Amino acid sequence: MTPLFAYQSEQQTAEKLTLSLLFGQHLAAYLWIDANSQKALKGAFYQISHWNSGDFIDEFLANCLPSSTPSFSVQVCFDAPQLVQMPIVQYDRSKLDSLQRVAYPYNPELLFLHESFASSQLYLSYAVPVNLFNKVTSQFPDLNYFHAARILLKEHHTNNDAGCFFVHIGIAQLSVVLYRGDRLLFHGYFDYQHEMDALYYLLKLAAAHDISTTSLQILVAGLIDPSSRLYEEFSNYFLHVVPFANAIQFAEEAPSPHYFALLSNHSLCVS
């Protein structure tokens, strides 16, 4: 487990705390939040070899949990790329699990979780490592967990008829949501090695849905900086590229707040 960056405010604790956790295939992160003021207190990001390997979990939890703390709530966001979906009106658990088995190679170490998205009228099934899920649910029995899509799907603007991408940048991975007005056109993941790979996927999606790159908006979050090559390439082809808004308050010297989008916004978005 390799540290990427950390955040620490002057405020050490609060009367009401939320511990926000994020797990992806190659990423683990946490953020402590003052639940009353919505201020970020402390957080960190780590690169992991792969979340199927359970050797990082104990070290990660030891790093994010203090020796003593008042009671707190826990929320876990799974940025899980192995997913399938079906309309709510057709939802059947066994059929959705069958779709998983058809779409992806069988792996007995993965657990299928189901989640409904009423605003988009769909049910999502996504796969997380059994060991990881069992560890966090045993450590935090009362936690709330959900897929990263819950944040991205909640943030769409129904009045944006020109189209809007919501793009979360992970480690060698993109999570992409595409809306036009109130219609969900695409939700999925892409692996990428180079900046032009990521750009290609977005351009291909825009062309497939006949959306002009001059009017389409891209909201970016995660591990991307306005000075980065990836951000520059996005801006060369799309006129409206902006960082994802963040509801949590950070000190001015903090890393870019949109880094923490999947950690900080979901404390306000769980339904």
pLDDT tens-digit map of 171-182: 999 999 998 888
Query: Is it the case that residue 266 has pLDDT exceeding 70?
Result: no
Residue 242: alpha-carbon gap to chain centroid: 17
Smallest Cα–Cα separation from 209: which of 188, 183, 240, 189? Answer: 183
The reported pLDDT for the residue numbered 102 is 94
Q: Mean pLDDT for the chain?
A: 89
Share of the chain above pLDDT 70, in %: 94
Let me know the angle formed at the C-alpha of 140 by 52 and 189, rounded to the nearest 5 degrees. Answer: 40
For residues 215 and 226, is the Cβ–Cβ distance under 8 A? no
Instruction: Assess whether the region 1-155+257-271 and the region 157-243 belong to the same CATH fold.
Output: yes
Through-space distance between the first and last CA atoms of the chain, rounded to whole angstroms? 32
Query: Is it the case that residue 44 has pLDDT exceeding 80?
Result: yes
User: In this structure, which amino acid lies at residue 104?
Assistant: Y
**Which distant-in-sequence residues (6+ apart) come within 8 Å of 40 by Cβ?**
7, 9, 31, 32, 33, 34, 248, 249, 250, 251, 254, 260, 264
User: In this structure, which amino acid lies at residue 230?
Assistant: L
Please give the CATH number for the structural domain made up of 157-243. 3.30.420.260
pLDDT tens-digit map of 93-135: 999 999 999 999 989 999 999 999 887 788 999 999 999 999 9
pLDDT tens-digit map of 165-224: 999 999 999 999 998 888 889 999 999 999 999 999 999 999 999 999 998 999 999 999
Query: What is the residue extent of each domain of the chain?
Result: 1-155+257-271, 157-243
Smallest Cα–Cα separation from 237: which of 222, 259, 216? Answer: 216
Query: Which H or E element spans position 12?
Result: none
Q: Does domain 1-155+257-271 have CATH number 3.40.50.2000?
A: no
